[in-house]
């Protein structure tokens, strides 16, 4: 089964719509310069409802070059399950958050030493777009990602949409897929119909229907 993560959630309405669509993981972006950025207090209000009503859904905090203490505080305050490091974090920072952490690579990493995780996802691979930390809408290098996916439970991101996600899963065979801009009606605003179509495209591939 391909895990589905819908990232850049900003409202409870969008979180519940993503869960209704069939998402397994939800991502909350704490990068202040990002269009999908959320405040800690707002996230805590949303996740308190989700933890009570949908305890099986995994909740992920997305960080870009944040201080370790700040990340730990947000993880605790917002009852998040995992931290996703999407910036230029060192293995030392990674180690301080282990085991509740995985590294996102912009582009295909030539070396993953220091960022190994004995769990799933082991890492995330996104497209490499200068000046952007995810959410660019540009597809990643699927052929290179497919090689990585043979060795690690890989979360594939970068330009995925309801129209191309089945092709991505077929080619890369990732542990999971991660979508943000591909299921939005406007930057930071999730589209319930697109989220549903995205999940259905993955499920249809798996069931052959």
Q: Check which CATH number belongs to the domain holding 79 and give it.
A: 3.20.20.70
User: Can you say whether residue 5 is alpha, beta or left, with left for phi > 0 and alpha for psi between -120 and 50 degrees?
Assistant: beta
Rounded Cα gap, residues 143 and 140, in angstroms: 9
Rounded Cα gap, residues 8 and 190, in angstroms: 9
Tell me the catalytic residues. Answer: 7, 126
Round the average pLDDT of the chain to a whole number and report it. Answer: 94
Q: Tell me which residue has tokens 């065979």.
A: 173
Residue 107's pLDDT is 87
Residue 137's pLDDT is 66
Residue 66's pLDDT is 98
Residue 207's pLDDT is 83
pLDDT band at residue 133 under the 50/70/90 scheme: low
Rounded Cα gap, residues 52 and 68, in angstroms: 27
Q: What is the mean pLDDT of residues 31-57?
A: 97
Expressed as residue numbers, the domain containing 126 is 3-207
Q: What is the mean pLDDT of residues 27-33?
A: 96
Rounded Cα gap, residues 175 and 177, in angstroms: 7
Domain count, the chain: 1
How many residues comprise the chain? 209
Residue 129's pLDDT is 61
pLDDT band at residue 127 under the 50/70/90 scheme: confident
Q: What is the mean pLDDT of residues 194-206?
A: 96
- The pTM of this model reads 0.94
The residue ranges of DSSP E strands in the chain, in sequence order, are 3-7, 25-29, 58-63, 82-85, 101-106, 123-126, 154-156, 176-179, 184-186, 189-190
Between 186 and 132, where is the model more confident?
186
Residue 101's pLDDT is 98
Reduce the DSSP state of residue 170 to 3 states and report it: helix
Between 78 and 129, where is the model more confident?
78
DSSP-derived letter for residue 37 is B
CB 195 within 8 A of CB 7: no
């Amino acid at each position: 089964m391909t895990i589905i993560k819908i990232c850049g959630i900003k409202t409870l309405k969008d979180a519940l719509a993503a869960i209704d669509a069939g998402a397994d993981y939800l991502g909350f972006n704490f990068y202040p310069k990002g269009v999908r950025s959320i405040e800690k207090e707002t996230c805590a209000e949303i996740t308190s409802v989700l933890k009570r009503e949908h305890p099986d859904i995994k909740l992920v905090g997305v960080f870009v070059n944040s201080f370790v203490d700040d990340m730990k505080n947000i993880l605790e305050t917002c009852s998040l399950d995992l931290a996703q490091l999407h910036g230029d974090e060192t293995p030392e920072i990674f180690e301080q958050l282990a085991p509740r952490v995985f590294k996102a690579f912009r582009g295909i990493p030539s070396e993953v030493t220091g960022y190994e995780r004995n769990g799933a996802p082991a890492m995330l691979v996104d497209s490499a777009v200068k000046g952007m930390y995810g959410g660019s809408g540009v597809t990643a290098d699927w052929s290179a990602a497919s090689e990585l996916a043979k060795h690690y439970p890989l979360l594939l991101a970068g330009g995925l949409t309801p129209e191309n996600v089945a092709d991505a899963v077929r080619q890369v065979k990732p542990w999971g897929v991660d979508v943000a801009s591909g299921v939005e009606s406007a930057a930071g605003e999730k589209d319930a119909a697109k989220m549903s179509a995205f999940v259905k495209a993955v499920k249809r591939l798996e069931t052959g229907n």
